[in-house]
Amino acid sequence: MFPISDDNSRLKTPVVTWSLIGACVLVFLWQLSLGDSQQQAVLQFGMIPARLFGEAELSRAAVPAWTTLFTSMFMHGGFLHLALNMLFLWVFGDNVEDSMGHVRYLVFYLVCGVAAAMTQALINPDSTIPMIGASGAISGVLGAYLLLHPFATVRVLIFIFLFVTIVHVPAMFVLGLWFLTQLASATLSPSEGPGVAFWAHIGGFVAGMALVPLFKQKTVPLLDPAHSRPFSLERRRGPWG
């Protein structure tokens, strides 16, 4: 299930959201340009819990350990990792930015990213596996969107065997299901070893929900009912048209 757009109009150009997407793409291209040195860059700029808490050190570290809370959220482990993160940011980020204003939204995004990384680090503080990706910060954006526009309609792409269906569903269903999936995955997955940082997603999402009342503009309501729309199917395509 992949969200591809929503029905929320916006008042301002989402320059911060677009800039964050551009920054992540540029950093990823830089990673690709490193060739065989990509893994070293991940070790240098990824967030390593044991290094963050002083339990491990890197020889010739490029940046202090605390700065990796920020640098890690602009790196990605592959094209699919980048594409999915940027898709979610593209769909949901503009309206959250609209509700906060550019500067507060940027601060909000970074704070959520730090909260996500710290959640993952505290779950397994001895881990020497680097964490990278914007998904923790974007999870904060999702949490904020859920409180701001739970009734907004999201167009979701669903694959059912050979059929591709676009479904209109409320944001609270899409984001609620996403959060429950992350929670179940975090509970069932081992805390040690490489893989998806599910606890970072959970930490970022909860941080976003907790912080949105502090960052949104006073004139912006929570739980906006203005975009309520019934569940519907847009179209269905199969192998014969």
Question: What CATH number should be reported for the domain holding residue 229?
Answer: 1.20.1540.10
CA torsion sign for 148, 150, 153, 154 is positive
User: Is pLDDT of 202 > 90?
Assistant: yes
Q: What letters, b where the CB count within 10 A reaches 16 and e where it falls short, cover 72-90?
A: bbbbbbeeebbeebbbbbb
User: Is pLDDT of 240 > 50?
Assistant: no
Q: How confident is the model at residue 160, as a pLDDT?
A: 77
In this structure, how many other beta carbons lie within 10 angstroms of the beta carbon of residue 225?
Answer: 10
The pTM assigned to this predicted structure is 0.90
Cα–Cα distances in Å, from 77 out to 1, 148, 188? 21, 31, 22
The mean per-residue pLDDT over the stretch 43-72 comes to: 91
pLDDT 10s digits, 16-53: 999 999 999 999 999 999 999 999 999 999 999 999 99
Domain that residue 10 falls in:
2-237
The closest alpha carbon to 29, from 71, 63, 74, belongs to 74
Which one-letter DSSP state was computed for residue 221? Answer: P
The number of folded domains in the chain is: 1
Which pair of tokens denotes residue 240?
């014969």
Confidence band of 80 (pLDDT split at 50, 70, 90): very high
pLDDT 10s digits, 99-116: 999 999 999 999 999 999
